[in-house]
Structure 1
Amino acid sequence: MARLDVTEMFQDISFPGHLHTQDSLQQAVEFNFQDTDILIASYPKSGTTWMQEIVTLVYSRGDPHLSQTVPNWTRAPWLEQYYCTAVLEASSAVPRLLTTHLPYRLLRTAIQDSKAKVIYVSRNPKDVMVSFYHFHKMANFLPDIGSFPEFLDRFLEGKLHFGSWFEHIIGWTQTAAVSNLLHVTYEEMLLDPQGAIKKISLFLQCPLAEDEINNCVKHCSFSSMKDNKMINYTLVPQEIMDHSKGSFMRKGEIGDWKNMFTEEQRRRFDSVFSSKMQQCSLQFVWEKPDEEEPNEEEKLPQNNTEPRK
């Protein structure tokens, strides 16, 4: 199923036709969630693959065998992609691990009466946008996005594939309809991986011993994931994802947006962000904390290491 130049419009949102059809999108919004299901929800390039890996490792108690032998799209299929039904029918795994990039408004009816657990993954939108821009360069199933200023315009207007980042994060984080929802940030996973993994494991009712958490941290590190063919998408044919034009696992940093934004673009982004997020209380980590050598007083233990969420 190539369809590399096909765009599917569904509920006023565009999706790449390579993996999405009208039928698969409709099946997603009508999906019959089981109470034991685990759903990872995110806007693209927010840490989705990372969370798939963490959850796999948590249920494996730090053993990397599954994550190193089974592709992530089989372990945690995308609910809205055409192959999802076949993958689920072929699997006897309980709980079922699912992934989605759909906004909450499209899944509200399907999930609001379910006890399924939802892990929502977010990332500061400037880094999301830069990562998504670079991904467009290598993903031949995504449209040509032109220059970075043009891409910035489309991101702020919510006209990229998968819709508006603003709608996505507000929809999932400001609703009270999903009672079993855990919000985890990309920055939190990067700055405090042990804490993030412990929080996720407790939410999944799968508490881990310290050595198991350490094994999870080791095998979901950026360097480990970048070398893992089951999650770095090098198994995907070059005509679909051209790795000569970039790497799916690119940098794994906080604040890379500063290498792309001009001062004028930053001011424009901040203005739109302030306008669209004025009713949202979430705070974001926009850059990596200062790494300057601390003085003797600052070397004392401080209880302020957890990033803002």
Structure 2
Amino acid sequence: MTRRLLNGMEVVQMDEEWIEKAKKKHGMFKHGMVRILPHGYFYGGRAPYFIDKIHTFKFRPDDVIIMTFPKCGTTWMQEIVWNMIYNPNLDNPQAKTSIFLRSPDMSQDMQFDGEEVDNMEVSEFEALFRKIAPDKDPEEGMLLEILDKMEGRRVIKNHYPLCLMTPGLLDKTKVIYVIRNPKDALISYYHFARVMKLFRFSGTLEEFIDDCLKGEVVFMPFWPHVKEAWSQRHHPNMLFVFYEDMKADIMKELRSINTFIGTNLTEQQLENVAKFTSLSAMKSRGDPIDKRNYKTELMEGDTVYMRKGQVGDWKNVFSPELDAKVNKWIEENSKDTDITFNYGN
């Protein structure tokens, strides 16, 4: 069965045979799985409904959208931007609340259709939604409604690509696109899928990466997402940031963000933000998600959204065979672009 989005793209439903086979390793969605053509973006079955709502969503000129492919530094950048706007002197008590309430994810409503959601803890979102929209149906999109009702300058998380957003998005508001080298991103995504109930992945690293390379993991494929944003990197409302550059010199990147979003912070305030949003500081404050949403135990010292954060960790994990396979995937998909990555070599 196929249909079209408001933007004209085609939605193709995955058949039951494929879903039953995939369930052996992956978590599924109550309304099945879909691909959105021509790029083949792979989402839960309710994604088209929410993407159509995003098509007409009212963005504001002072919004800052943190756009990423999953596990490329999203949470880190959310904390950085939110604290630059609202907590540069480290005196805002709201900084202690979950980043997912301070900086909602407009691509998350689709995920509430996951088969495991009934066994997860989402009361924080529900409580806020009921408070601001008591007469609305949560099935129509809790996060989109929360975002619509938010006052002040919004810091919005989003994993959907530019082509699935409101037409002319970059002429309406600012986007910070964070990208990470795909080898480390795949490793991080594997560990995330392994421990989260929603994803419920039970296979090996090699199996997970094989599925990613085939575009059969939620939010894949990686390359169209990245290359579309890269093609817009010179737009005045787009800031393209490499995760590895943030790791190498965070103050340099903070100064660039400071100029881009117009926060006009002092050097001392930027240093405050750098210290407060360091990986060690964020880990010490704990995960921004209820631990009842974990499927398995975490490795000691890790959290779901903040694991090692290393550049080049793939070298500790990839076998020569897996590295060769991923290298071929990278070569085939990057030959038509001048984007280059730092793999920690």
2:76 aligned residue: 50
2:161 counterpart of 1:103: yes
User: Residues of 2 paired with 1:128 and 1:222: CA distance?
Assistant: 16
Residue type at the aligned position of 1:13: Y
Kept in 1, the 8 Å contact 2:233–2:240? The answer is no
Kept in 1, the 8 Å contact 2:64–2:176? The answer is yes
2:259 aligned residue: 202
2:117 aligned residue: none
TM-fit CA distance, 1:178: 5.1
TM-fit CA distance, 1:242: 3.8
Q: What are the equivalent positions in structure 2 for 1:160-309 lying under 5 Å apart?
A: 160-175=217-232, 179-229=236-286, 232-233=287-288, 235-238=289-292, 240-242=293-295, 244-246=297-299, 247-248=303-304, 249-287=306-344
Residue type at the aligned position of 1:81: Q
2:40 counterpart of 1:15: no
2:147 aligned residue: 88
Cα 1:175/1:209, change in 2 over 3 Å: closer
User: Residues of 1 paired with 2:168 and 2:53: CA distance?
Assistant: 10
2:104 aligned residue: 77
User: Residues of 2 paired with 1:13 and 1:143: CA distance?
Assistant: 20
Cα deviations across residues 118-169 of structure 1 (Å, max 9, x unaligned)? 0000000000000000111111101425111111212222221002111110
User: Residues of 1 paired with 2:88 and 2:179: CA distance?
Assistant: 24
TM-fit CA distance, 1:110: 5.3
SS at match of 1:244: coil
1:137 aligned residue: 194
1:41 aligned residue: 67
User: Residues of 2 paired with 1:22 and 1:133: CA distance?
Assistant: 25
User: Residues of 1 paired with 2:91 and 2:308: CA distance?
Assistant: 22
SS at match of 1:167: helix
TM-fit CA distance, 1:5: 4.1
The alignment covers a number of residue pairs equal to 277
TM-score, with normalisation over the residues of structure 2? 0.74
Kept in 2, the 8 Å contact 1:68–1:228? The answer is no
Cα 1:9/1:97, change in 2 over 3 Å: same
User: Residues of 2 paired with 1:16 and 1:62: CA distance?
Assistant: 40
Q: What are the equivalent positions in structure 2 for 1:117-136 lying under 5 Å apart?
A: 117-136=174-193
User: Residues of 2 paired with 1:243 and 1:202: CA distance?
Assistant: 41
SS at match of 1:127: helix
User: Residues of 2 paired with 1:36 and 1:264: CA distance?
Assistant: 47
SS at match of 2:322: helix
Residue type at the aligned position of 1:283: T
User: Residues of 2 paired with 1:148 and 1:243: CA distance?
Assistant: 15
Structure number with the higher helix fraction is 2
Any gaps of 5 or more consecutive residues in structure 1?
A: 289-309
TM-score, with normalisation over the residues of structure 1? 0.82
TM-fit CA distance, 1:282: 1.3
Cα deviations across residues 259-291 of structure 1 (Å, max 9, x unaligned)? 111112112211221111011111111117xxx
1:25 aligned residue: 51
User: Residues of 2 paired with 1:5 and 1:270: CA distance?
Assistant: 29
1:305 aligned residue: none
Kept in 2, the 8 Å contact 1:136–1:142? The answer is yes
Cα 1:201/1:48, change in 2 over 3 Å: same
